[in-house]
Amino acid sequence: MTSAIHEILPLELIERILSICEPLDVATFGQTSRFFRTLVYQTTDQHLWRSLYLSQPFDDPRSCVSFLGEPRSIVDWKPELQNIIRTRSVIAHERIAVCHPDERCIVLETLLNIVCNVPSSPHPSTSDLSQNLLWVAAVLRDGTFLHHDERTFSAEDQQLRARLHTYFGLTLIETQISSGLRTNFRAYVYDQRHYSWLNHFGPFRMDGSGRVNWIHMRAIHHVISMHVVDLGDNDEFIFAVFPMSLPFCQPIIPEGMDLDQEQDWAGVAGYWSCNYCFIPHYLFMGEYNTTKESTQLMCYSVYNVCAPGCSNTEISLIIS
């Protein structure tokens, strides 16, 4: 008479075997019987799912902090790992277009959750990079997911993906002149219709809420990045690591620093490494702003900042 495997092997040994398996295989195993479905999906003990999560190439969530250094209060191992595996599958098989809208949002939020919760680093020049960031960089390496036709995306999905893209940095597609993306991003940044009192003349949403407009931020990020990352005609682009790319999402918290007591918690004091990018004003004046009203506004704004002492006559001559 044949006995079931759980009648032969101790439950602890079965869990140990499952904990070193691929999560998709564990899910398949859970469909083989009612007993194993209960073991995999319906147990109140998260030991198995915690072991499965920690066997993956990710940072331990218990050691992760937000961009502001705030630790995670709770980790729900099973749903978080399930979302990650589903996200990996969607991106690997380029299924983002056929995802249910709610699932598409979950995929984007999962990637952002991975990026925005990583272990802190004690020094900016450390080589101890976050496993979370390395995983996301590998999954999104060709940039296809970040450039998929977004006409089927909801407005909020577009914001989520633009935010993820801003954190990620430049993609191979963006660096290719034939893609036309550089022109599109420049047109967005230099179009005066995207600046008004409603968004405080900055990269914020036009509803007056003060929320970041990540579509605007992505465009600004690209324009500046293409100045910082100087690629020659024959240079091969793999993944540009520079101070506006994914590895720099890792927060820097020196050893022994107590964020509750630290006055300079953001690390503003000290020496800074800066890049300076100058606006090509001809793009404001003509190429992306063709109406008389937008040109007058831009001319007045530019010269009011650059030469606040000039007279009204001089300004009128400039505008005319």
pLDDT for 3 equals 54
Does 5 score more than 70 pLDDT?
Answer: no
Quote the CA–CA distance of 210 and 205 in Å, as a whole number.
7
pLDDT for 268 equals 77
pLDDT for 60 equals 96
| Percent above pLDDT 90 for the chain | 32
116 or 72, greater pLDDT: 116
Residue 89 is classified by DSSP as H
Over residues 137-149, the mean pLDDT reads 88
| Percent above pLDDT 70 for the chain | 80
* Backbone torsions φ then ψ of 235, nearest 5 degrees: -75, 135
Does 92 score more than 90 pLDDT?
Answer: no
List pLDDT tens digits, range 185-201.
998 998 888 999 999 98
Give every CB contact of residue 220 below 8 A, 6+ residues apart in sequence: 189, 203
List pLDDT tens digits, range 263-314.
887 677 877 766 666 666 667 666 677 655 555 444 444 444 444 444 443 3
List pLDDT tens digits, range 107-126.
999 999 999 999 998 887 77
List pLDDT tens digits, range 155-166.
999 999 999 999
Measured CA to CA in angstroms, residue 230 lies from 178, 236, 278, 279 at distances of: 17, 12, 15, 17
Residue 212 is classified by DSSP as B
Does 131 score more than 80 pLDDT?
Answer: yes
pLDDT for 19 equals 85
285 or 176, greater pLDDT: 176
pLDDT for 4 equals 67
pLDDT for 305 equals 41
pLDDT for 98 equals 62
pTM, entire model:
0.80
Quote the CA–CA distance of 79 and 226 in Å, as a whole number.
38
Q: 174: buried, middle or exposed (CB in 10 Å: 19+, 13-18, 0-12)?
A: buried
pLDDT averaged over every residue in the chain: 81
Does 132 score more than 90 pLDDT?
Answer: yes
pLDDT for 311 equals 42
Quote the CA–CA distance of 72 and 54 in Å, as a whole number.
16
pLDDT for 160 equals 95
pLDDT for 156 equals 92
